[in-house]
Homo-oligomer: A and B are copies of this chain.
Amino acid sequence: MSTKIRVTVWNEGRHEKTSPEVAKVYPKGIHGAIAAGLTKQGDFTVKTATLDQDDEHGLPEKLLAKTDVLTWWGHMAHGDVKDEIVDRVQKHVLQGMGLIVLHSGHYSKIFRRLMGTGCGLKWREAAEMERLWVVSPSHPIVRGLGQYIELEHTEMYGELFDIPQPDEQVFISWFEGGDVFRSGCCWNRGAGKVFYFRPGHETFPIFHNKQIIQVLANACRWAARPTGTAYSLDAPNIPVPLNPIPKKDH
């Protein structure tokens, strides 16, 4: 029996079909690039799914039940993701499935659902340099990195990022144009772990970058569904107390 971590790479997949520029950077789709990068690492079994694949966006109950970590990239069609699929993904996260939310996925229904906030931010497309500083150097997500990652040309995301304060802050980004951003953030939700990672534009070749793939692989290992967790989503009545309750007159 395989003990590999089972990753499902989800991609909206619309840009690739409508923009020759995007198709050129990601000929097999953003999902294809991420899947290829993770597969090379050797310890993952990777599947992919996309929004328009079928009427469940490629995410049937059966697949999520066998998914240890789901990665999520979306941008122009967040509103087209059905609420019942968002419900389903949320349920699996609470029961232990890891979720890695990428770049413009900050505005996806599932991320906003799990955060409880608006998840807005500032942005600018000026091909400026981003430097992601590691502020939690012993965190498993930064294994193998140095003090920072540099991306020569990126879209800028700037504060205020409308999120609950992360349980663990892993990266903070510096941008050439004068902005900062909390670009690598961890939260616990139920039995599941959530990691938001900022890099990943559709026309910059971010998901071909070795360090970015390294972070994604580290994050998948960190977020993988814990073995043997039984996490109840119920609110059960427990009529019989564990300790006797003294009788009283009232």
Q: Is the CB of B120 within 8 A of A232?
A: yes
Cα(A64)–Cα(B116), bound, Å = 19
> Which residues of A, 94-136, contact B by the 8 Å Cβ criterion?
94, 96, 107, 113-118, 120-129, 131, 133-136
Chain A's interface size range is: 35 or more
Q: Say yes or no: A165-B169 contact (C-beta < 8 A), given A122-B238, A135-B160, A234-B120.
A: yes
* Set B138, B168, B174, B235: member contacting A192, Cβ < 8 A: B138
Q: Is the CB of B190 within 8 A of A117?
A: yes
Nearest CB in chain B to that of A179: its residue:
B174
List residues of chain A with CB under 8 Å of any chain B CB. Answer: 90, 94, 96, 107, 113-118, 120-129, 131, 133-138, 140, 143-144, 147, 152-153, 156, 158-162, 164-165, 167-169, 172-180, 182, 187-192, 226-239, 241-246, 248, 250
